[in-house]
Amino acid sequence: MAQRHRSLWHMIIAPVIWALHFLAVYCFSAIVCAKAAPFGWAQGGVLAMTAVALALIFWQAVLAWRQWDFLDDGDHVHERPTATSRREFLGHAGLLLAIVSFIAVTFVTLPVLFVGDCR
Amino acid sequence: MSASDVSPTAPGSDVLDSPMQGVWPPTPAMLASPVDPDLSRAQAKRLRKAWETPRGWRHVTAVNNTHVGKWYAMTALAFMLGAGVLALLMRIQLAVPENGFLDSDRFNQFFTMHGSAMMFLFAVPMFEAISILLLPALLGTRDMPFPRLSAYGYWCFLIGGIFVLGSVLFDAAPSSGWFMYPPLATESEGIGADIWLLGLSFIEVASIAAAVELIVGVIKCRPPGMRINLMPLYAWYVLVVGGMILFAFPPLIAGDFLFELQRSLDWPFFDPDRGGDPLLWQHLFWIFGHPEVYIIFLPSIAIAAMVVPTAARVPIAGYSWIVLSAVGTGFLSFGLWVHHMFTTGLPALSLGFFSAASEAVVIPTGVQIFAFLATLMVGRARMILPMLWIAGAVAIFTAGGLTGVMVALAPFDWQVHDTYFIVAHLHYTLFGGMVFPVIGGVYYFFPVIKKKKLSERLGRWSFWLCFTGFNICFLPMHLTGLLGMPRRVYTYQADLGWNALNLVSTVGAFVLALGILVFVWDLVRPKRHEPHTPRNPWGAGTLEWTHDVPDEPWGVRSVPYITSRYPLWDQPELLARMDAGRFYLPDAPEGLRETMITSAVDAVPLHVARLSGPGWSPLVAALFTGGAFILPTFKIYTPAVICGLLAIAAILFWLWTATARIPEKPFKDGGLGLRLPTYVSGPKAPGWWAVFITMLGDATGFASLVFGMFFYWTARPDFPPPDSPHADPVLSGIAALLFGAAWAATRLARGLNAAGLIGAARGSLLAGPLLALAGCGALIAAILHLAPQTHVYPAMVWALVIWTVSHVLCGAIMQGYCLARSLAGRMTAQYDADLWNTTLFWHFLLATCLIGTAMVALIPRAM
């Protein structure tokens, strides 16, 4: 946990999950469609990947929320020169990134629900 | 604030491996104790001597960020004006229907060059220029971590830019559009397309160099105490944009590589008759091209993030939200590229993914605009001149963003694709997102740069001319586009209903140009007789306003200890203490250029880095690199190879003489009771990070080639062709083993060297290049029977092998370099940074080699 508190990498895990999900969804559906497999496979596969991605992002959001520790002191500015302020800042930014990533993953999944086939 | 909060080095806290000795953080008593004025004067004299800029004709060897940054910015401005003139000439041609002012070929050259130059020679380099110029000031550091790399990047940019833009004067410019779509561009006559490919690849190398420099600058060169949550927002944006360049530019370089192989050697990557596919180029181009838009936008809006708090006289509202905005936009911008390809016949599902991501990016992009507005609302805003430009920028950008939301919807895009609607949209985003904030930034930062202020009156004239001219020019284009006028036509018939709109746009273009000219005149007019500016004319809170007036060469007199986001507002004694030399590195007793390296997140002092000073090697290396890229345009290959070798020699000379120098003593006094190491290697060293970052970009380029292989597999039913011969599996396997052995030799050498077994380490470093070269031989022998001109499959195999082998040759040179350094006594068991960096390179190289051989010999058999 202590590692997470001073790590830039942890802050960007959620958008990295978005990127991997995006790439996986795009490649998977392209391959399924190009190799003439049924559209249902693409649909099912994408939804499964989305479920995994959303679960992981949610988990990151929970960790980031704990790291931010907002309810403890109500601090959302984090401008002090302290380890606490830095930790809470990284948690706050990580949480916001997780929220945006969650929305973006949901957005990217919508086409498989609306588009009926590979054309 | 509890005691444990302010002393992070207390036992059990987070600084575990810091090798510094002494007091950290400094106590208030230490900070308050005065410096003897005589001592301070003597220190300042030594510091001034160490940072002195060469005079006379040797001025071109200067590497100070303040000099290189100025050259960079003025060069980019000159290229912008040239590209702007091309736009005006096009607007004259389009002012009336069936005009004969320009013929179609010249018109094609002009719009191609206008787009290419504005993107590659103005927008991206201007970001690099401004960042190189200002980042050290914003971070209160002496210079960028690799001053000579900045200089090298600048000279590459200058040479490449003159070459590319100059071609338009010889009627030889590229004419296939700034995105060079094949088959038009692969089939085009003349050398225009080659100039584009080779000239701009050359400049892209400079961009990646700048990205490496800026990332390392932000994460390792912050002043002590400036934790990541205190960093100026501009630095956050630079960090994000640097990362984006690393992942966006290499796909284009990989694409250029394939494209130029097709043009010079007729390897059919984009030729459908021989299994190729023009769409691969579009993918590679736009994987670069869309992030590029944000690479341009983010650093410019970052200027707004500096100006807005000053104008509002309060700290920025929602710092974390703006960081979210920068980072989130940086990521999402990589999921948008296909929205440039909505009309290429890709499956609706693929279009849907990219349309959705294009809508999602609005969220982080919008957040920062709202944060700016919130700051202005809670503060006591003054409409200072820079803020006027920023306000104009936000208005224009928002309009461009709204049409962006429209064209991100595939069905709407099908209607307006390739019409003037798109021209209007992209100019709204780029003027609002780049030109206006950058000009606002010039007005804002000019006192730091030149110690004079620009004219308030001319600035307001310029703004209103630009703002009205811009809208008169581009607002009607939305309508022109909706009425069906396509982009890139050199003329149109009189009865289509476009006449009045086009005439209005042309008038607007000239009003806009007049506004830009007023700004340029304000910028370059002699100001010798004007008084110096006050030190902090806008009453800002950030560190760049601690600059010296009149100018001093050292960046900062002493590197401050920072405890606030707005140190000038919150740390009242800061300026006097900096000037007195109370803080870190106030002296240069060895006459060397030094700066402070701190830890990435908490900015704990780690190391005193000795920076390289002025020298000819960056300039010479850039000249020969230029030759290696430019001569092949004219099919002059032998001198090009010689230039390439000389460039490598120049770079090796530069590294040999100016980097990883063994210090005269392992530790030195850093000021305020701190003793810091003068040499570090491995992950503590900025150089190691530079290699790591460079190799991330390089890996992206290689991944693009691998993507190409899979792309053909999904796009073509006959890839690889069923009857095609494959690479020899045995020889490929041997090659993989030899590459693995060469990697192991490098890694082993590092361990042996560190253990003091110098002889064994040298033996290992001798074996390394031999194994590597043998591996190259085996890999080439494995594919020698494949004919790359016949089909895209063997061509792709050859491309992968060329990429791999050229990297292995670099790796072998690095092994040899380490061996030579060891033999020359410039690398020892303790001072082994070269070997750490080479090993890191080889870690990446091993992955390239193994994936490369698998892609060549294994994967195609399974496809």
The pLDDT of residue B10: 37
Q: Provide the mean pLDDT of chain B.
A: 93
Q: How far is B726 from chain A (nearest CA, A)?
A: 22
| Strand residue runs (E) in B128-257 | none
Domain membership of residue B366 (yes or no) is: yes
CB atoms A22 and B357 under 8 Å: yes
The pLDDT of residue A116: 80
User: CA dihedral in degrees (B455, B459, B461, B462; nearest 10)?
Assistant: 130
Domain membership of residue A116 (yes or no) is: no
Domain that holds residue B814: 684-862
Residue ending a domain, choose from B480, B508, B524: B524
The pLDDT of residue B21: 82
CB atoms B229 and A111 under 8 Å: no
Residues 331-370 of B with CB under 8 A from A: 331-332, 334-335, 347-353, 355-357, 359-360, 363-364
CA distance B290 to B329: 12
Residue ending a domain, choose from B482, B507, B524: B524
CB atoms B6 and A82 under 8 Å: yes
CA angle B124, B125, B131 (to 5 degrees): 95
CB atoms B331 and A93 under 8 Å: no
CB atoms A77 and B319 under 8 Å: yes
Domain membership of residue A93 (yes or no) is: yes
The pLDDT of residue A17: 97
Of residues B321, B347, B565, nearest to A119 (C-beta): B347
Residues of B in contact with A2 (CB under 8 A): 14
The pLDDT of residue B15: 38
- Three-state secondary-structure class, residue B60: helix
CATH value at residue B727: 1.20.120.80
Tell me the β-bridge partners of B607.
B597
Of residues A27, A31, A107, nearest to B356 (C-beta): A107
Spans of chain B, pLDDT less than 70: 1-19
CB atoms B324 and A97 under 8 Å: yes
The pLDDT of residue B502: 97
Name the domain count of chain B.
2
Domain membership of residue A50 (yes or no) is: yes
Backbone angles phi, psi at B321, to 5 degrees: -70, -35
CA distance A83 to B4: 9
CATH value at residue B198: 1.20.210.10
Of residues B5, B323, B334, nearest to A93 (C-beta): B323
Which pair of tokens denotes residue B742?
A: 């060469």
The pLDDT of residue B18: 52
Domain membership of residue A118 (yes or no) is: no
Distances (CA, A) of B319 to B232, B236, B401, B458, B474: 10, 10, 22, 33, 34
Per-residue pLDDT band for A2 (boundaries 50, 70, 90) equals low
The pLDDT of residue B408: 94
Name the domain count of chain A.
1
Domain membership of residue B3 (yes or no) is: no
CA distance B228 to B214: 15
CA distance B111 to B90: 8
The pLDDT of residue B109: 95
| Strand residue runs (E) in B492-599 | 594-598
Q: How far is A80 from chain B (nearest CA, A)?
A: 7
Please report, rounded to a whole number, the percentage of residues in chain B having pLDDT higher than 70.
Answer: 98
Of residues A22, A30, A78, nearest to B229 (C-beta): A78
The pLDDT of residue B229: 95
Domain that holds residue A87: 7-109
Domain membership of residue B549 (yes or no) is: no
How far the first Cα of chain A sits from its last, in Å, is 47
Q: Does the structure show a pLDDT above 50 at A119? A: yes
